[in-house]
Amino acid sequence: MRGMASPGAPPIPSRGLISEPAMAEATRSNEAGNQAAGALVRYFVAQGVGLVDHIPTCRWVVPGFMTGSTEALEEMARLSETGE
């Protein structure tokens, strides 16, 4: 939660310094067999990458891109026709 007294998010370079000790402990606990700790384990690769819990196949992803692209193009055409 964020309120008037909240200092906001720390600068990106500081985030790892702040969270690394807790993340290291969660990783150690998970590697020791604590499955509940596995839900806490994240990887500092990029925003959101650590939240990936499965890797979909290309066969699953490509149709989604195609559908999304088609829908976006149709929406752009509609907007250009109506002047919205």
Write out pLDDT tens, residues 37-81.
888 887 655 566 667 778 889 999 999 999 999 999 999 999 998
What's residue 2's pLDDT?
A: 63
Q: Tell me the two tokens of residue 40.
A: 């806490």
pLDDT tens per residue across span 3-50 = 678 888 888 788 888 888 988 999 999 999 998 988 888 765 556 666
Q: What DSSP character marks residue 46?
A: S
From the list 18, 17, 15, 40, the residue with the least C-alpha distance to 29 is: 40
Q: What is the pLDDT of residue 34?
A: 92
Same-domain pairing of 46 and 30: yes
Judgement on whether residues 36 and 59 belong to the same structural domain of the protein: no
Cα 58 to Cα 56: distance, rounded to the nearest angstrom:
7
- Do 65 and 39 sit in the same domain of this protein? no
Residue 2's contacts (CB-CB under 8 Å, 6 or more residues apart) are 8
What does the alpha-carbon distance between residue 9 and residue 18 come to, in Å, rounded to a whole number?
A: 11
pTM value is 0.41
Q: What is the pLDDT of residue 4?
A: 75
Same domain, 63 and 30: no
